[in-house]
Structure 1
Amino acid sequence: MMLGVLDLASSDARTTEDIFTGDSHPMPTGRIFGGQVLAQAIIAADRTTDDDRVPHSMHGYFLRPGDASRGLTLSVDRIHDGRSFSTRRTQAFQNGVPIFSMISSFEREDPGLDHQSAMPEGVPTPESVAATAPVLHPFSRRLLDSSPIEVVHVDGAIYDATPTPASATQNVWMRARRPLGDDAAVHRAVLAYMSDLTIQETVLRAHGVAWSLPGLKVASLDHAMWWHRPARADEWLLYAQESPSARGGRGLARGRLFTREGALVATVAQEIMIRVPA
């Protein structure tokens, strides 16, 4: 399922844009998962750059909800190609209107300064957490089982209830359920897919709000990601997340992805709209 949605078809006729089409994977909610669009958009942009350039950052806006029963059309504008960096604009369309718009930057990797933040200490392994995880509500289990990503909440899932005391942080282990092969571009795209999973939950945790709260409305507004180091998305990665602020119906969440060995792979930021019933 994962590799299928990333296998974009390209148009033979190039004018001022490069055009790609892709499938959507089914979702129980009927709405396209935002991470799918992120991954497809970065794959489309990557297809238009030289082989020696890799994505290091993207900034995108979710404009409209997408229909998971329909495919996507993605258009890529080649904004700039310099000696070290290339810039691309990618827009995803359904029914002739954009549902997502992204600017991404690619670089030719050169030697340079190297440092990183440390991985959180004392986080239990995904195997030990999964062995003691409680049974989930049937709808929550359906959502997880339909995902190509395996997710293990270190601090307990918040589908049915939130742990006490309330906290604006959480740690989550993630990996693709099936091997992804050795194409580094696929692993970078799957990291983008994974980056949209669970990051909204730190905003909810901070206020003791569970996903099952009747009348709760949450939607991703924008998404930014920086790739720092290569990693395999089909091996366990720790997603350390926090929410520094929420106000006016919007909440900000940040996250860092680490390998099991402690290498910082990527940094993520996302703002969401959140409506909690009175």
Structure 2
Amino acid sequence: PYGDLSAILQYCQSIPELIRYAALCLQRAPDIGAIIRAMEYDTSGKGHLLFEFLFSKLDKEIQMYLIETSILSSFNLELAAYLTGRSIDEEIVTALARENIFLLPLSPDSDWFVFNVKAQEYLWNHLHQWDRQQLDGLHQRASEWLGSQGEILKAIEHAIAATEWELAARWVELAAQEFLQQGHLVTVISWLGKLPTDLFIRKPMLSIIKAWGLIISQQYDVVEEVLQQALKAADNDSNPQKIIDHVQAIREFLSFRSKES
């Protein structure tokens, strides 16, 4: 009826993507009227009612799989298995991507998947009901896998999200020099700013990285203070002499610069 169609268009705000999801819901709903009546009470403005209905039709294990992997910007089956501990058949995941409701392929020939943006927002609502320990565990495993594959930027983001500071420091130490050389100073400073101050005592290489960041940003007057912090904590590094050598190299650079200016 025209009234039903009008209600659907109003709920979907005439957004083609939401209209498609509404059509899928109506195809699969035993009681179309119940779906339309429920739309009147959904004030999310994001079509969450539609995703809730379509999500409810999935197997429970697939539901958990989607919720857990929704912390990722993209994933393949290997990453998802490491993250979730669930071995889901490739055919099932590919079929989900073909439906283009929750997942879609990253590219036509790729074995990586991404989430539909609105569906991912819906899944995050489920995820945010989990306790902190569960979320941290997901982020930690994501960081471990991504870092092992050289995806250091994403690995750092997940380690910080998990408040796994030792893991975050490991990736920052590994990547910072290359990022600074490539001109990504703001990114490196952002990483350092998110780390707790006591971590710089346990990981003096972080102070060395900070010192180089200060030099690049021409904040020369505070470099020595950071170098002193690195020296005081040098014995906490597995190779204290490495810290001492870095401090000496930075001081020599500053001395040379001072003579040149």
**How high is the TM-score relative to the length of structure 1?**
0.19
Structure with greater proportional helix content: 2
**How high is the TM-score relative to the length of structure 2?**
0.20
Q: Please tell me whether Structure 1 or Structure 2 has the larger radius of gyration of its CA atoms.
A: 2
Structure with greater proportional strand content: 1
